[in-house]
Each structure stands twice: as C-alpha cells, then as structure tokens.
Amino acid sequence: MTTQDYLKTISKSEKPFAIYKSNKGFDLYTNFSKKIILTNKNIHNFINKISKHKPRRKKTDLFIGFFGYEILNNLIGVKIKKQKGLKFYKGIFYKPEIKIELSNKLNYKPTKFYKTNKIFSINLNKNSYTNIFNKFKKKIKSGETYQIKICTKYKNKSQIDALDFFCRLTKSNMAPEAFMIKDKDYSIISCSPENLITKKNNFISTKPIAGTLKKSNKLNKSKALNFFKKNIKETKEHNMIVDMERSDLSKICRPGSVKIIKKKIVEEYKDLYHFVTLIGGKLKKKVSSLEIIKAMMPGGSVVGCPKISTLNLLNTQEKEKRNIYTGSFGYIKFNGDMRFNIIIRSILNFKNQSEVSVASGVVIDSNAKHEFNENYIKAKALIDLYK
C-alpha cells in the first residue's frame, strides 16, 4: 500500500492511532493492545515496568503516548493549585501492535464534513498578559527567577478531522518532532520542532530551542544567525537554557561526559528561524527510565530558569491548566531507549473543544508587546488550519 492508501484506511477504520516524525518520513502506530491512562499514583509503576516486558524483537516493543504538564510537575514534587480549563487526561500511553513507515508526503482528503469554527477567543488579552509580565519582571530583579515563560491559549468550539489537520500542517510546517494522536474522544496535533530526550544505549542528548525570528524576504539563514549572535537579549536567553539543560543532563550522566555537540546553530522553518544547541552525555550505569524522565521533564526551555522556583511562580500566576502543552510526547522501548519531544505548537481537541497553546519568555530586557505578538506568530500556523 502507498502512504496515501494507509492514511485512507486508518481514517476509515476509526481505530485510535499515532503518527510521529521519523528520519525518513513518518511512523504510524496503531492496533493498540493496551491503553494506560496515567494518574499521579500509577505513573511510577508504569514507567518502571516498561523495561520488564519481554522483548519480542519487534518494532512495536514500546509504549507510545504523552505526559501532560501537571503530571510532570507532580513527578518532581511541584504542586499546582486548582486551575480552570478543560479537564483533560494527565497522560496516556499505548502499546501498538502495528508500526507502518510512511513517506514524507502525507496526502489525505477528508471524506466527511466537519463543523470547523474559524473564530478564536484568547484566554489572556494584552492587558492581563502585560500585568503578569510586569509581576515576573519584578521577580527577575529580586533574583527569584532569571527567565520565565507565559502561556497563552487560543480557544474555540470545533469539530476537526485531526488527520486532515495534521497532513496539511506537515505541508505548511514540516517539523522534526511533529506528531499526532487520534483516539475516540480526543486528538492532538503538533508541529513541535523541539527534541527533549533522545536516548540510545547509554548515550543521551537534548536539543533546546531558545530564540525565534520571524521570516522575511530580506532574511536568509546566515543573516538570521548574525541577528541571534548580535542580539544580546536572545543570546542571554539561549545561554541560560543551555546551562540549565547541561545541568539536567549532569544529574544522570557520567562525570565529565556532558558536552555541547552543536553550539548555537540556526534551524529554518516555514514561518520562522530558531536558535538551537545540541547537548549530549553518557549515562551513568544503572540510571532508570524514571530517573531520566524526572531529570529532564518538564523541559526547561518552555518553563524558564531555575526550573523549580520558576515553576512555582508560574503555577501561582497561570489561572488555566496547561494540559498537554509543555508536556512531552514520545516513546519508551522495552530495552530502555527513548525519544521524547516537548509538546509546543500544539492543538488539543477534546470533546469538540479546541485549544491552541503557545508561550514566550520574559527576561529582564523583554518587552511585553513584542512577546505578546511573538505568541501570535507561533500560533498562526495552527490557527490557519481552521480556515
């Protein structure tokens, strides 16, 4: 079967499935034999037990799914007070029995009609955004945080064909950590560019993004690099994230093994350029999957720095649940290898409620208006899908 046929078949079958960007194209996972809905209680047991499954040397010897933001906070001992918003699952993982390799070109025509709404409401207007922004600036001056990210949500009521959305998104915005999940009562679509964990044998790496630049006709990749290097604010923001990720890796890696592999490079996307660094290390002996997840999640670049005190500040100011946003999607293999992204640039559709979430950072020299607008640039590629 061709990629197009597979997509048609999976859509008709109405079976739950997940698609994740691979090196060559995309991987489709389906025929789920197990579905584990995570809670603050069962998450430890779930992660610890994965490596105890008998490997059958199959490509499907793995669990694939996502951790939401809240469950990851709880995992590292950060409590979140009651927040309003969609009451979505804290995390779900599936055991697939089929994995199909798809090409990079995802062509799919919807067969049914969906009531898609083009109008969005925003949960934080410019004034309330500026309000939170100024509070955080004071906290930066007093040294309680060095950098903090405020999340904005665009919401509406819509029925969506998640597969159609995802295929169109990959055409407009191909991203190395893109993924989607479709199950009976929800779907997630994301063009995440950010890898949080790639672990193979005893090697682990992470690739934080800090710095975004909107594309224009006058700009090419080398000019973008020049911009980031000369822009003191972007450089400082990036430096902080790099040191924080080095520290997170150092918790689980052998002494002296944590190294910067690619320092401050520019990656190009449809609407924007990103400033990226790749950091890796060799894992200590006997580090468990749970320890790796606790050391690295939630990903620092979408929280701020230092992680714990900044999470505590965020959780008192953000009145609405982040849900999947800034959680992680990916898989853990039975042999302990894993790959996880950071869920950003994402749509969550749950019981026909859509949420598009984005965030941008506050550092000492940030400007509220600029950051508020940067949030819109990031959301645009997703909002455009509703047309």
Return the number of the residue (57 or 143) whose C-beta is nearest another protein: 143
CB 310 → another protein: shortest distance, Å?
8
Please answer whether residues 55 and 71 qualify as being in contact, where contact means their C-beta atoms are separated by less than 8 angstroms.
no
CA dist., res. 174 & res. 166, Å (int): 10
CB atoms within 10 A of CB 43: 21
CB 48 → another protein: shortest distance, Å?
23
Return the number of the residue (8 or 236) whose C-beta is nearest another protein: 236
The answer to whether residue 344 forms part of the interface with another protein (CB under 8 A) is: no
CB 43 → another protein: shortest distance, Å?
22
Instruction: Single out the segment in contact with another protein by CB under 8 A; choices: 87-95, 114-122, 173-181, 251-259.
Output: 251-259
Q: Which residues in 95-134 contact another protein (CB under 8 A)?
A: none
Q: How far is CA 176 from CA 26, 123, 179, 241, 309, in A?
A: 10, 29, 9, 20, 30
CB atoms within 10 A of CB 264: 18
> Residue 303 corresponds to which amino acid?
V
Return the number of the residue (237 or 355) whose C-beta is nearest another protein: 237
CA dist., res. 249 & res. 204, Å (int): 8
The answer to whether residue 292 forms part of the interface with another protein (CB under 8 A) is: no
C-alpha closest to that of 183 among 69, 100, 92, 279 = 92
CB 301 → another protein: shortest distance, Å?
11
Q: Which of 73, 147, 187, 205 binds another protein (CB under 8 A)?
A: 147
Return the number of the residue (238 or 321) whose C-beta is nearest another protein: 238
Return the number of the residue (143 or 184) whose C-beta is nearest another protein: 143
The answer to whether residue 309 forms part of the interface with another protein (CB under 8 A) is: yes
The answer to whether residue 146 forms part of the interface with another protein (CB under 8 A) is: yes
CA dist., res. 293 & res. 29, Å (int): 22
- Sort strands 147-157 and 121-122 into parallel, antiparallel or unpaired: antiparallel
Please answer whether residues 102 and 6 qualify as being in contact, where contact means their C-beta atoms are separated by less than 8 angstroms.
yes
The answer to whether residue 14 forms part of the interface with another protein (CB under 8 A) is: no
Interface residues with another protein (CB under 8 A) are: 140-147, 235-240, 242-244, 246-251, 253, 255-256, 258, 260, 300, 305-310, 363-364
